[in-house]
Amino acid sequence: MAEQAQHSTNRRDFIFVATGAVGAVGAAAVVWPLINQLNPDASTLALASIEFDLSAIPEGQSVTITWRGLPVFVRHRTQAEIDEARAVQIADLKDPQTDEERTKPDHAQWLIMVANCTHLGCVPLGQSGDFDGWFCPCHGSHYDTSGRIRQGPAPTNLVVPPYEFISDTLVQIG
Amino acid sequence: MSEHSYVPGTAAEKWLDDRLPVARFAKEHLMDFPTPKNLNYWWTFGAILVMCLAVQIVTGIILAMHYTPNVAMAFDSVEHIRRDVNGGRIIQATHAVGASMFFLALYVHIFRNLFFGSYKAPREILYIIGVIIFILTMATAFMGYVLPWGQMSFWGATVITNIFSAIPVVGESVLQLLRGGFAVGNPTLNRFFSLHYLLPFVIAALVALHIWALHVPGNNNPIGVDVKSTRDTVPFHPYYTMKDLFAMVLFMIPFAWFIFFAPDILGHPDNYIQANSQVTPAHIVPEWYLLPFYTILRAIDFNVLFINSQLGGVIAMALSMIALLVVPWLDTAKVRSGLFRPVFKWFYLLFLINFIGLTYLGAQPAEGIYVVLAKVCTAYYFIHFFVVLPVLSRIEKPLPLPTSISENVLGKAHA
Amino acid sequence: MIKTKTVLVTLALVFGLAAPAMAADTHSTPHIEKQQWSFAGIFGTYDRNQLQRGFQVYREVCASCHGARLIAFRNLSEEDGPGFSEEQVKALAAEYEVADPTVEGGTRAAVPADRWPSPFPTEQDARDANGGSLPPDFSVLAKARGIVDPFPNWIFNYFTGYSEGGVDYIRALLLGYHEEAPAGFDLPEGKYYNDYFPGHAIGMAPPLFDEQVVYEVAEGQAEVPLTAEQYATDVAAFMMWMAEPGLPGRKETGFRVLLFLFLFAGLLWATKRRIWAGIEH
């Protein structure tokens, strides 16, 4: 049988190869948009980057805003909180990171973090826990005044989103 | 005959073949299946229809990912698809234009069947499944047209569901049952969405039965003479796979033309106005593919005995479908192909023109000459099935038939 | 050959009477002239300057009554569309207030991601302010209107891809006002006579006048006439963009797809011929 097949007119002819190749290209070109439609659409992408005015938040207060569908803490820290965060020995940390790395120069009073516990995604409670920062009630993770993990099951610090200061009081997140 | 049977090449294939012989099935039915070698391009529309169904199912599943079946949001969610979703305008246009192309192919397929007598023994079941697929496809398309929740969607749904109110005694209850309310509203939209998603898979299952029923007697062919020997046939693959593929790609050219250069030309501008139960558009027109039957529905504007005009219209429309279902028993002529039926040929042409006329009239306002023409065309539709076909079967003298497909092919080649 | 005759008679009946016999209407609608639009035809794209002018007309004249709820400010910076810069759009958006239940006071300045705010809080407010008529939303209006093309033109339209019926109608309507209704036409109080509006009695006062909107002409560009006709054309073009913002990209993709299909069809034809070469059929 197999020999017979080899001897038959199964010659790889240019036209057949060209047709197959063009057909394959066409199939790929059709499949891609059918997959790409799953990606975030234009209305979602338009909100990927937001601007937020900080001037309304007094010292010692935080607000929770929404960015890309996630809750984000924006905290106006007191000098005491900043000092406490900067006094910590880096070596003591589970996920070593300095407070400077987690804030912007000249804007140390502003701490901006995604408000989902890095353990399993709950929103931690503010100004509670053993380190004066945040405490996640779900599984007992404690974060300090820089949002770093100090105790409990969470593996890493609260995530700092990409952001920059457009002016002293206006920040662009994302 | 060894080339027509499946021999597992490897141990793994043998293992599979003993448990679930899918490879054997595919080889026998999709590759080696003996197919008359004289099929013309009208026969490629079966494959084109499979492609159309696949296109509608794939694009439809995608659209359902972005669509919201709620009267407050449906219209805007379709616009959201067009404006914001990646490639959404093309996918949505493909689905909308696809419905029209589907019916175009469906009508060609049906009229090919009617001319070449493919509905005759032993293919009656094959044919009846086909008619059921046609009816279900119309139902699916109708419900799909309601989903964008434009003015035509809403008023189309209102008018078509009202058909059921014509049923004596229980009409009003049936109507409320179908709509889930006293008028077309949110419950109607939700159930239409659900059914519009379901029915294509029912259709796909019926297509499988349709092809099964085709593979029992095998294909009819343009001369309508049964296959006599292997000389009359070629294996389906590669002969018809390539021919069908070529036809599909040709079919995609006008398809793409509409999608990319005139995506709205087959629709109605009024469907870009959000549904409003207070205002009826000046002319309610269903999509073109429903028009012939819509004309028949409208043509009965007079009472017959105790049957009022509304019920009469519904009965006429139902009868126009039933006529299709019983064609194999109305046309009892022994000769299948219209090519060898000198009188039938002309009546077939008249029927075709009449059908186009019914389509045209459905889009015209019901006034003046159009009303008269609609009645004439409706009358001929029924006369063709219930008078012309049975009478011709008895009195027509067919032309002499070739003895076999290969004889006919050779005769043509040396002529 | 009675049958041949029957066929021909039917053909004549079906197609001969196709041209709508509409001469009976005494206040008939004049024929709408098809315009030359930059976005018509297979090579059509939007004219950015025209869209910017159209937007100016929309904003200064129409937007006080007509919303565009499906348009987001960000759309105005689309490359294929009016193509304003992102800074311009941001500044423009900030001039508008939008409802936002999550902020204090319930409203805030708009950002580019927001949709165009509606000029009236509810449909009833819109009707009350306009003598009972509802000013339609502009978002898809250019596709929600059309012109009736007599037989056989509508058949040709399938081959030319004519999709500008809506803008042709809108432009004609904006310019189709008469100071006084023709004799014998009973014009209701508070309505205006328009040649092209169905029923002729329209609730909208003539909206466009010469020199009403002052176009800014950039350095080195031709002067655009400040006429009602020009405004109507520009705003209609802008409405087409609002209704079909992806048009240029769609046509561009269409070209590639058609080119591919012709090539693939040609190859398949050759393949099919080669395969069938040995078979008499």
B18 is a domain residue: no
In a domain, B19, yes or no: no
Query: Which domain, by its residues, includes A64?
Result: 45-173
Q: For residue B120, tell me if it sits in a domain.
A: yes
Q: Report CA C277 to chain centroid distance, whole Å.
A: 52
Tokens of A69: 């569908």
Give the separation between CA B375 and CA B209, rounded to whole angstroms: 37
pLDDT for position B390: 97
Mean pLDDT of B187-213: 98
What is the CATH number for A159?
2.102.10.10
CA distance B359 to B346: 20
Least confident of B236-240, B295-299, C148-152: C148-152
**Is residue A120 domain-shared with residue A85, that is, in the same domain?**
yes
Residue A83 and residue A145 in one domain: yes
- Looking at mean pLDDT, say which of A71-85, A129-143, B104-118, C7-21 comes out highest: B104-118
A80 Cα distance to chain centroid: 28
In this structure, the answer to whether residues A90 and A25 fall within a common structural domain is no
* A107 part of the active site: no
Looking at the structure, tell me whether residues A26 and A52 fall in a common domain. Answer: no
Regarding whether A139 and A58 lie in a shared domain, the answer is: yes
ipTM for the whole predicted complex goes beyond 0.85: yes
Segments making up each domain of chain C, as ranges:
30-71+121-257, 72-115
What's the CA gap between B413 and A173, in Å, rounded?
76
Q: Where are the beta strands (DSSP E) in B25-84?
A: 34-36
141-170 of C, contacting A, C-beta below 8 A: none
**What is the distance between the alpha carbons of residues B241 and A23, in angstroms, rounded to a whole number?**
14
Place A12 in a pLDDT band, splitting at 50, 70 and 90.
Answer: low
Q: Mark yes or no for CB contact C143/B250 under 8 Å.
A: no
Which whole number is the average pLDDT over B309-330? 95
Q: Are residues A100 and A124 in the same domain?
A: yes
Q: Average pLDDT for residues C204-209, to the nearest whole number?
A: 94
What is the nearest CA distance from C213 to chain B, expressed in angstroms?
A: 29
Does residue B266 contact residue B258 with C-beta atoms inside 8 Å? yes
- The yes-or-no verdict on residue A2 having pLDDT over 50 is no
Q: What is the domain-level CATH number for residue B63? A: 1.20.810.10
Residue C227, amino acid: T
Cβ-defined contact of C162 to B89 (cutoff 8 Å): no
**A139-167 confidence digits (pLDDT tens):** 999 999 999 999 999 999 999 999 999 99
- The answer to whether residue B105 is domain-embedded is yes
- The CATH topology of domain C30-71+121-257 is Cytochrome Bc1 Complex; Chain D, domain 2 (1.10.760)
In terms of pLDDT, which residue wins out, B283 or C68?
C68
| Same domain, yes or no: A83 and A168 | yes
Look at B80 and A43 and tell me if their CB atoms are within 8 Å. Answer: yes
| Option in B65, B84, B91 nearest A33 (CB) | B91
CB B406 within 8 A of CB B232: yes
User: Are B89 and C279 a contacting pair at CB < 8 A?
Assistant: no
Across chain A, mean pLDDT equals 89
B8 within a domain of the structure (yes/no): no
Residue B380 near residue B350, CB atoms below 8 Å:
yes
Residues A108, A28 share a domain = no
- Rounded to whole angstroms, how far apart are CA atoms B279 and C273? 57
- Position C15 scores a pLDDT of 45
Side-chain-facing half-sphere of B158: CA atoms under 13 Å: 20
| Judgement on whether residues A16 and A84 belong to the same structural domain of the protein | no
Q: What's the count of helices (H) and strands (E) in chain B, helices before strands?
A: 17, 2
In a domain, B210, yes or no: yes
Q: Are residues A86 and A162 in the same domain?
A: yes
Number of Cβ within 10 Å of residue B239's Cβ equals: 19
Q: Is residue B15 situated within a structural domain?
A: no
Mutation to test the C interface, candidates A11, A19, A63, A64, most C Cβ within 10 Å: A19
More confident residue, C12 or C166: C166
pLDDT score at C153: 87
What is the per-residue pLDDT for C26? Answer: 54
The pLDDT score that the predictor gives to residue B246 is 97
Range list of H helices, chain A: 2-7, 14-36, 42-45, 79-87, 99-102
* Chain A contact set for C102 (CB, 8 A): 66
Mean pLDDT over residues C247-268, rounded?
A: 96
Question: What is the pLDDT, as a whole number, of residue C17?
Answer: 43
- Domains identified in chain A, total number: 2
Domain count, chain B: 1
Task: Please give the pLDDT value at position B412.
Answer: 63
Give the domain range for residue B133.
Answer: 37-408
Considering only alpha carbons, which residue of chain C is nearest residue A10?
C275
DSSP state of C189: T
b/e map C210-233, b = 16+ CB within 10 Å:
eeebebeeeeeeeeeeeebebbbb
- On whether both A51 and A35 belong to a single domain, the answer is no
Average pLDDT, chain C: 88
What would the two tokens of residue A21 be?
Answer: 């190749």
| Lowest mean pLDDT segment, chosen from B59-73, B232-246, B304-318 | B304-318
Distance CA B363, CA B370 (A): 10
Is the predicted pLDDT of residue C24 greater than 80, yes or no?
no
Q: What is the pLDDT of residue A127?
A: 87
Query: pTM (2 decimals)?
Result: 0.90
CA-CA-CA-CA torsion sign (C165, C168, C173, C177): negative
Binned at pLDDT 50, 70 and 90, residue C22 comes out as very low
- Mean pLDDT comparison of A87-96, B139-148, B160-169, B307-316, highest-scoring range: B139-148
Q: What does the pLDDT read at residue B411?
A: 65
